[in-house]
Structure 1
Amino acid sequence: MKRYAIISDVHGNLLALQAILADIQQRGIEQIINLGDHVFGALEPELSANIIRNTPHMLCISGNTDREILEALDVVSEKENMERVKADLSADTIAWLKDLPPTADCDGIFFVCHGTPESDNEYLLELVRPEGVFVHEDEHLVERTKHIAQPIILCGHSHVNRVVHLSSGKVILNPGSVGLPAYLGNGEYRFAMESMTPHAKYAIVSIDSKEQYHIEQIACHYDWNKASHVAKANGSVNWSQFLLHGRMPRDLRSK
């Protein structure tokens, strides 16, 4: 049986990254697929990047915040945390980010993207409406993925772990976020993405001798209290709350 660990959205959370990599190693899984958004956030970008860059057998693609870091290199950004992250990153990490592809194929089994096949900043599974966040209907997802040959489509970006089986026979898997279990979105509508626990999330896909796929969603314990303190010390009070609870604090819901 071949096994793959699927991770996404580390967002510079060193403690969470160390916890899931230790769990993956303990399970004897060698191949890791990383869906992007590696370093941006309120925590420890360069230390996290150094581990990711030096972890063997890890396929990595770019996420929207990886791209945004590169776009902001020569300008002063108003995005919270961006200037601190840029100052922390090494030349080696910047070069590595520049080389990351937006999508990838893995073994003819997985189509790998951060958001959607076409965009790193859109949700493949989720539909954001004024009344909340919903999962797209089967018909929409079948049409959206009909051009993809691989049977398993991997996506991140929303930070919410989901497995959706399509009537076409394909599977869409979001492993959730390693490093940020909730966040507040401010697109056309204000919305909350919430995984509802503070754990570091990832997924395991096992393929047996009959080429059948078995999917597990994993929630790893780590010291999220310490991570929350780091975020707060770096000036990100909201991030400190998201890390502690995996959901939106009441005071942010009411704004």
Structure 2
Amino acid sequence: MKTYAIISDIHGNSLALQAVLRDIETRQVDRIINLGDHVFGALEPEATAQIIRQTPMICISGNTDREILESLNKPSEKENMERVKADLSEQTIGWLKNLAPTAVCDDLFFVCHGTPTSDDEYLLEQVKATGVFVYNDEELVAKTAHIPQRVILCAHSHVNRVVQLSNGKVILNPGSVGLPAYLGNGEHRFAMESMTPHAKYALVQVEGNEVNIQQVHCTYDWNKASQAALANGSEKWSQFLLHGRMPKDLRWE
């Protein structure tokens, strides 16, 4: 039997990452797979990057990793971006530049951040004016028909989900290590909410043809993380870290 730990969307939350890695150490994990969005956010970009770089794992690029690189030589209006860029070392920038957008692991996993062709689209979720919905089986089978691997790993929505397809494939989103909720912008205004402040990841155990998946929620000092985000000027991030959902008193505008 082989055991894989699937992590994603750390977003510079070193406290949450350390809690997850401590839990992983107790699980006899053979390999860690990291789906991207490593450092961007209201917390500790460089400290988080150093932990990731020092821990053996497969890493791919997420949309915010790409956005950091695209804004290196120009100012950005994205909240937190200028602070993040100022904190990152040359070593971390070089590491981000070398991250691939997708990967294949042990011919079992296809690894992407958003979808196989886009790091800023959702594979599982469809955003409508009336809310966020998971695509039906036929749509997901069609969207992943070209992928031969049995388990498809995706992230980006920060919501942990396991979807079994009618063709035998499985799509797994491990949730977010470091940011359990956020507000999305697009054609519609929407919220992605995991409903708890825990640091989240997934375990995949493979033995022969059997694939078993466990979603793991780790307690850490999210009050400290929330206060740090607030001290860095990010009230919304502070609230998301504390609640894992959209607080009633937080304006959508």
2:31 corresponds to: 31
Deviation, structure 1 residue 30: 3.3
CA distance in 1, matches of 2:59, 2:199: 18
2:90 corresponds to: 91
Number of residue pairs matched?
A: 253
CA distance in 1, matches of 2:112, 2:151: 11
CA distance in 1, matches of 2:195, 2:107: 33
2:176 corresponds to: 177
The amino acid across from 1:232 in the alignment is L
User: Does the alignment pair 1:123 with 2:122?
Assistant: yes
The amino acid across from 1:184 in the alignment is L
1:7 corresponds to: 7
2:58 corresponds to: 59
Task: Write out aligned runs for 1:83-232 (5 A).
Answer: 83-208=82-207, 210-232=208-230
CA distance in 2, matches of 1:254, 1:43: 22
Deviations 1:187-243 (A, max 9, x none): 1100000000000000000011x3210000000000000000000000000000000
CA distance in 2, matches of 1:238, 1:183: 8
Which secondary structure state, in structure 2, belongs to the residue aligned with residue 239 of structure 1? helix
Deviations 1:129-183 (A, max 9, x none): 0010000010000000000000000000000000000001100000000000000
- Alignment gaps of 5+ in structure 2: none
User: Does the alignment pair 1:249 with 2:221?
Assistant: no
Deviations 1:15-55 (A, max 9, x none): 00000000001112131000000000000000000000110
CA distance in 2, matches of 1:4, 1:90: 29
TM-score normalised by L of structure 1: 0.98
The amino acid across from 1:83 in the alignment is E
Deviation, structure 1 residue 254: 5.9
Which secondary structure state, in structure 1, belongs to the residue aligned with residue 126 of structure 2? strand
The amino acid across from 2:58 in the alignment is L
CA distance in 2, matches of 1:114, 1:172: 12
Deviations 1:45-96 (A, max 9, x none): 000000001102x000000000000000000000000000000000000000
Which secondary structure state, in structure 2, belongs to the residue aligned with residue 235 of structure 1? coil
Query: Contact 2:8–2:201 (CA<8 Å) still a contact in 1?
Result: yes
1:47 corresponds to: 47
Which secondary structure state, in structure 1, belongs to the residue aligned with residue 133 of structure 2? strand
The amino acid across from 2:73 in the alignment is D
CA distance in 2, matches of 1:36, 1:253: 28
Deviation, structure 1 residue 246: 0.2
CA distance 1:254–1:147, shift in 2 (3 Å): closer
Which secondary structure state, in structure 2, belongs to the residue aligned with residue 240 of structure 1? helix
Deviation, structure 1 residue 116: 0.0
The amino acid across from 1:249 in the alignment is P
CA distance in 2, matches of 1:170, 1:43: 36
CA distance in 2, matches of 1:9, 1:247: 16
CA distance in 1, matches of 2:251, 2:80: 22
- Alignment gaps of 5+ in structure 1: none
Deviation, structure 1 residue 252: 3.1
The amino acid across from 1:137 in the alignment is N
TM-score normalised by L of structure 2: 0.99
Query: Contact 2:2–2:30 (CA<8 Å) still a contact in 1?
Result: no
Deviation, structure 1 residue 186: 1.1
The amino acid across from 1:31 in the alignment is R
